[in-house]
A and B are shown apart, each in its own frame.
Chain A
Amino acid sequence: MHGTLVPSALDPSLFIPDLKCRRKDSALAELVACAGRGGVLRHPELALELLAAREALGSTSPGRGVAVPAIRSLAVQHGRVVVARSRRGIEWGAPDELPVHVIALVCSPAECPASQHVETVLRVAAAMKPQRARAKLMEAETFEAIAALLREALP
């Protein structure tokens, strides 16, 4: 089902173990490029533009070192989550002003209902909220360990 994010939405090719960039816009560009290479996006440049518009509304980091940017777009071919880590941390304008170390980009196709898209964003954010979960995400050596944690969050 194209409109639904399922556990298979987590794919090892959609994982960036350690982002080298320091800026939010560069990090988003890397995530989008990764999604483009993975066949998730038809128009990466349009997806990036939409993400920038969303960030202009307010930060997509709820704090605690995580960020969950999200797009629902005709540019998205398949519902997927792109995961990236940054050991150095990236300034994301979070309410607690902490740098972001784990980013999960939620990509939903346009036909995915708004409620379902938002639900996925909230579940992914909630899964990364506990300190233990964040530590696991940062320490995980394989993508499978990360997927195991986030998979539980997907409806």
Chain B
Amino acid sequence: MSAAAALIRLHDLDLLLAELREVSLAARLRRAGFALGDARDLEAARARRFGELDPRWRHHYERAGRRYGAAVASVRGRVCQGCFMTLPRSASRGDAESVSLCESCGRILYRGRAESEVSESPVTPPPRSASPGPPRSRPS
């Protein structure tokens, strides 16, 4: 599984769990007739998916998640959708989807194919010790 797919799987489960934890939202859904059962299986699946994440991304995921709630932000038109800063052209990751770090806010940036720009860098996590800085490209 690609780094991007692993991040999407984990992040999407976190979004769903966040909805369930918002008591007022969950209550409104229940009142409307939607069934919301026990989230323990979902939490177990979340733990498994976190374990599947490349260890070099886990640290950044946890840190950004603690700080912002959602650890991953998508990129649209070279703009981080977490902090809305325009990303430098050098941060472009090519035509394929890619994952990098926002040097402004430290969220993990997910760039889908449609948002990709010119370059051919592969998806590569930054070293664990790195603080949010310019996305690095290293061969995987």
Q: Is the beta-carbon distance between B37 and A74 smaller than 8 angstroms?
A: no
A50: Cβ under 8 A from any B Cβ: yes
Q: Are B13 and A50 in contact (CB under 8 A)?
A: yes
B60 close to chain A: CB less than 8 A: no
Is A72 a contact partner of B35 (Cβ separation < 8 A)? no
Q: What number of A-B contacts does a CB cutoff of 8 Å give?
A: 103
- Given A58-B35, A95-B35: A53 in contact with B74 (beta carbons within 8 A): no
Chain B residue numbers with a CB within 8 Å of A46 are 5, 8-9, 12
Among candidates B15, B29, B97, residue contacting A72 with C-beta atoms closer than 8 Å: B15
Stretch at the interface among B18-26, B86-94, B118-126, B129-137: B18-26
Residue B78 is within 8 A (CB to CB) of chain A in the complex: no
From B7, B11, B35, contact of A59 by CB (8 A) = B35
Report 16 cross-chain contacts, Cβ distance below 8 Å, ordered by A residue. Answer: A2-B76, A2-B81, A49-B9, A50-B16, A53-B45, A57-B35, A58-B37, A59-B35, A61-B33, A62-B32, A62-B34, A72-B15, A73-B8, A74-B112, A110-B73, A122-B29
Which residues on B are within 8 Å of A, measured CB to CB?
A: 5, 7-9, 11-13, 15-16, 18-20, 22, 25, 28-29, 32-39, 41-42, 45, 70, 72-74, 76, 81-82, 97, 110, 112-114
Q: Please give 8 more A-B residue pairs, beta carbons under 8 A apart, in addition to A42-B113, A73-B8.
A: A46-B8, A49-B9, A53-B13, A53-B45, A77-B112, A110-B70, A115-B25, A125-B32
